Amino acid sequence: MIESEKERSRKKFYDDSFREVFSNVSLVKSLLTNFVEENWVTLIDFSTMKVKTSTFKGISEDKRESDLLLEFLLKDNTKILIFILIEFQSTYEQMMLRLLEYLLRVYREQLKTSNKLSVSSPDCHL
């Protein structure tokens, strides 16, 4: 099925809006501190947030960019990456497979610049 220009424009608007909203440090801090009930969130130095490239081609047919890879330093200067992915999938299984694909791509990107991989702990909220 050929996608219309109007449909591409609508998707771009949503993708750009998502990225703009979730690139806001205050919003990300609120999101993590209020929804992720893990002690490691209190260790994040939110003033160090950087938005990283996170568009991975070939994961979905529609090539949407509604994902965000954020880099932070912890208070002890350890670098961490947090991947924010908002998905509207029909089944939980599809979402988990897609999350694993993204995680593999993040690791491959890390290996291009370092011989170390970050530890990852996916936190899914349904």
In this structure, what are the phi and psi dihedrals at residue 85, rounded to the nearest 5 degrees?
Answer: -130, 120
Nearest to 118 by CA among 72, 51, 85: 72
Higher pLDDT, 115 or 25: 25
Higher pLDDT, 12 or 88: 12
- Average model confidence (pLDDT) across the chain: 77
pLDDT on residue 56 = 58
Q: Can you give the pTM of this predicted structure? A: 0.67
What percentage of the chain exceeds 70 in pLDDT?
71
Would you state the structure tokens that stand for residue 20, as one six-digit string? Answer: 């703009």
Residue 64's pLDDT band (cuts 50, 70, 90): very low
Pairing of strands 79-85, 67-74: antiparallel
Higher pLDDT, 61 or 11: 11
Helix (H, G, I), strand (E, B) or coil at 84: strand
